[in-house]
């Protein structure tokens, strides 16, 4: 079996699930273990993006709080 044939990708241009690397890397998201998971890629990507944004905001808040309490030179 060729490498990645058992993995699924979501084509961002065609919005179709593909098995294996059929499209250029810039056009696909993945890999996913199942076709069903790949079909949910837009939803999963949105959730991950929101989670990363929340992490960034928490880090920014922590940095701001730390800077406020830092001794002045």
**Is residue 73 a part of any domain in this protein?**
no
Q: Quickly count: other Cβ atoms within 10 Å of residue 29's Cβ.
A: 15
Check residue 1 and give its pLDDT: 46
Comparing 34 with 72, the larger pLDDT belongs to: 34
Q: Note down the domain range covering 38.
A: 8-67
Confidence of residue 4 (pLDDT cuts 50, 70, 90): low
* Cβ contact 30:38 at 8 Å: yes
**Is residue 3 a part of any domain in this protein?**
no
Check residue 59 and give its pLDDT: 85
Number of domains in the chain: 1
Rounded to whole angstroms, the Cα distance separating 67 from 63 reads: 6
**Is residue 72 a part of any domain in this protein?**
no
Q: pLDDT digit string (tens) for 15-71?
A: 999 999 999 999 999 999 999 999 999 999 999 999 999 988 888 887 676 666 655
Output the CA torsion sign for 15, 9, 22, 27: positive
**Is residue 2 a part of any domain in this protein?**
no
Check residue 49 and give its pLDDT: 92
């Amino acid at each position: 079996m060729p490498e990645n044939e058992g993995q699924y990708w979501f084509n961002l241009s065609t919005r179709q699930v593909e098995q294996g690397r059929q499209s250029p890397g810039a056009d696909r998201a993945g890999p996913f273990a199942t076709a069903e998971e790949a079909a949910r890629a837009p939803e999963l990507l949105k959730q991950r993006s929101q989670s990363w944004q929340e992490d960034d905001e928490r880090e920014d808040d922590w940095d701001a709080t730390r800077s406020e309490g830092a001794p002045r030179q």
